[in-house]
Amino acid sequence: MKPPVLKRLTSIAVLVSLCSALFIHSQVSVKSAPATLINSKISPDLRTLMQTDGGAKVRVVIQSTSGSAGLIGSLLQTLGGLVVAILPNLNIRIADIQANSASLLAADPTVSYISLDAEVRTTGHIVTTTGAAQVRAQNSLLGLNSTLDGSDVTIAVLDSGIDANHKSFSSRAGKIAFSKDFTGENRTDDPYGHGTHVAAIAAGEGSPTQGAYEGIAPGAKLVNLRVLNSQGIGKVSSVLAALEWLVANKGSYNVKVVNMSLGTPAISSFEDDPICNSVKKLVEAGVVVVAAAGNNGKNSAGEKIYGAIHCPGNSPAVITVGASNSYGTDSRSDDSVASYSSRGPTRSSSIDEYGQKHYDNLIKPDLVAPGNKIISAEAINNKLLNEFPSLEANKYSTSNMKLMYLSGTSMSTPMVAGAAALLWESNPKLTPNMIKMILMYTAQPLAGSNTLDQGTGQLNIAGGVALAKLVKGDVLLGLLGPSFGSSLLSQTPPAPQSTISSFTFPWAQGLVLKRTTVTGKELITKYQVSYGKGYVLGDGINEGLNSQSINSQMWTSGVALNNFLMRSEGLPMGSGSIFVSTVILLGDGFVMGDGFVMGDGFVMGDGFVMGDGFVMGDGFVMGDACALGEGSAGMH
């Protein structure tokens, strides 16, 4: 009998049209450009629509080269299209066109990619079990700043809004530094209930509950960018508009971290997808972007599924977070990866000029964090609770202090966002790639799970902050930046282990780098080129058809590639039993062993509605999850 699974559709359909096609060359381009080259610049779902209903009116996102906006606008006008929005910082135009017009637009050399404005949806002891409380206590005992709580850092939350009157936010003046709606509903509160819960996990005040339900970085400010409407649904174009705002205004509000507990099907390669390209711009500008992996780790029969990481979690530039199960205890001795948490490799793809399909096959998630039955702020009168009253935590009776349960990678993502804020505060000189490196290196490998389940392991804030504090400030200064291979730490690195709630565990002592993993003490003792701005962590790995090697100009000799992805025994990366060779990720093969990867990136029968841009299963994880003790609700 199939276990009962109630899954709530929570996909944000984001459609951004970039109007930058060069009209004066378009007719020549259509005639001369090979059809395969034109098709490679059109997203798979849009190509399917062109074949089935080419006359349909659609909203698209057009990515282009810089400086071509006016010419693309002319071409759109000639084709009968309408420019809806211009996002100049992202080189994107959003437009309404006839589906068949995409071929004419794609033929123009200044247009880099065209995709549908698809839908995007959402995917109590947290401070203690993650080590955040421990860090604050250690500072106090040492006579240091006892308020290592994210102060002087702002976290931007792209979600369904924030209930600003909830005590988690209203108890500190100026907590929500800015709010803006991108849904068209002209409100920034949270009638859906997801964004308030997420924001409080990252940065909720603990004083109203005497610290019992405190966010990871309670001193951090918040920027509330509402991209999901009152039904928990948004558009790709809404998300892109919010990212455009961030690129332009991040400095004015000191935004250092962006939380994206939402997703859309990862269809187009990260190199083409407009959201992936936009978040990469933010990371290159010095902002950490944290994204949910998704909640499609198993099918309706409860079988493990691989290859269901969502966008923008499929981007190598972001920190992609899966969900772990802490079973409601502070101790980390029995923690495991939640069965619903989406697993890698990423199956977004591109088509080359010869018409051949290539999957990204990146190792994801990067790490996991607690995501089951998380108690956090309850937005007043929210839709989620009205539909599912069992989510009420019954902790407080005052309307603006109530708390509710939710589970999913949506909840684990803001834990990592809060952790990033703490690392920024402990050492403001860190780059986004260094923060990502430190969080992966110090993670706790969870026994029984492989690399595609958990990345390097479970979030360890205590170890992350301890290491971050030792990174030299001066090594990151200067016009030319740090030199390759220079000493990274101010003193001998600490023992690679942490003790949280009386349980001692080793650090992963390794990193996920796109399609391989890497280990070595020099990851933290020497500066690697890939740690700097303008790079993606993992740049500098040479890949052939069936082999990988390190570029010695970007990685020092004391860093070693691993040839296999492992099933962990709770020991540092590289230990345990072999799961699969990393070489398989260089091709388009299937991952065999614990499960399987669907060849087209869609999970059939559980999680995705084919061809319509909706993400299924990014809402509640109930029924079988509840029976397994993995939480009563889950969002992406």
Which amino acids are annotated catalytic?
159, 194, 410
Length of the chain measured in residues? 636
* Tokens at 205, concatenated: 């005040």
Q: How many CA atoms lie within 13 A of 526 on its CB side?
A: 15
Q: Are 591 and 299 in contact (CB under 8 A)?
A: no
Burial class from Cβ neighbours inside 10 Å (0-12, 13-18, 19+) for residue 52 reads: exposed
What do you get for the CA distance between the two ends of the chain, in Å?
Answer: 26
Q: How far apart are CA 600 and CA 115, in angstroms?
A: 17
Task: Judge whether 147 and 136 are in contact, CB under 8 Å.
Answer: yes
Give 479's contacts (C-beta < 8 A, 6+ positions apart).
none
**Beta-ladder partners of 222:** 155, 176
What is the rounded CA–CA span in Å between residue 235 and residue 113?
Answer: 18
Structure tokens at 450: 């492989």
Contact 214, 206 (CB under 8 A): yes
Phi, psi of 500 (to 5 degrees): -125, 125
DSSP one-letter string for 457-517: -B--HHHHHHHHTTB-SGGG-SSS-PPTT-B-BSSPPPPSEEEETTEEEE---EEEETTEE
Residue partners of 173: CB distance under 8 A and separation at least 6: none
Buried-exposed string 275-302: b where 16+ CB fall within 10 A, e elsewhere: bbbbbbbbbebebbbbbbbbbbbbbbee
Cα dihedral: 227, 121, 151, 251 (round 10): -40
Closest CA relative to residue 316, chosen from 143, 541, 142, 91: 541
- Which strand (E) or helix (H) includes residue 69? helix 69-78
The CB-side HSE value for 623 (13 A sphere, CA atoms) comes to 16
Pull the structure tokens for residue 6.
């109630």
| Pair 361, 588: CB distance under 8 Å | yes
Asked if 471 and 430 touch (Cβ cutoff 8 Å), the reply is yes
Tell me the three state secondary structure of residue 423: helix
Q: Which of 624, 628, 192 is nearest to 388 (CA)?
A: 192
**How far is 154 from 4, CA to CA, in rounded Å?**
40
CA distance 393 to 148: 28
Check if the beta carbon of residue 20 is closer than 8 Å to that of residue 65: yes
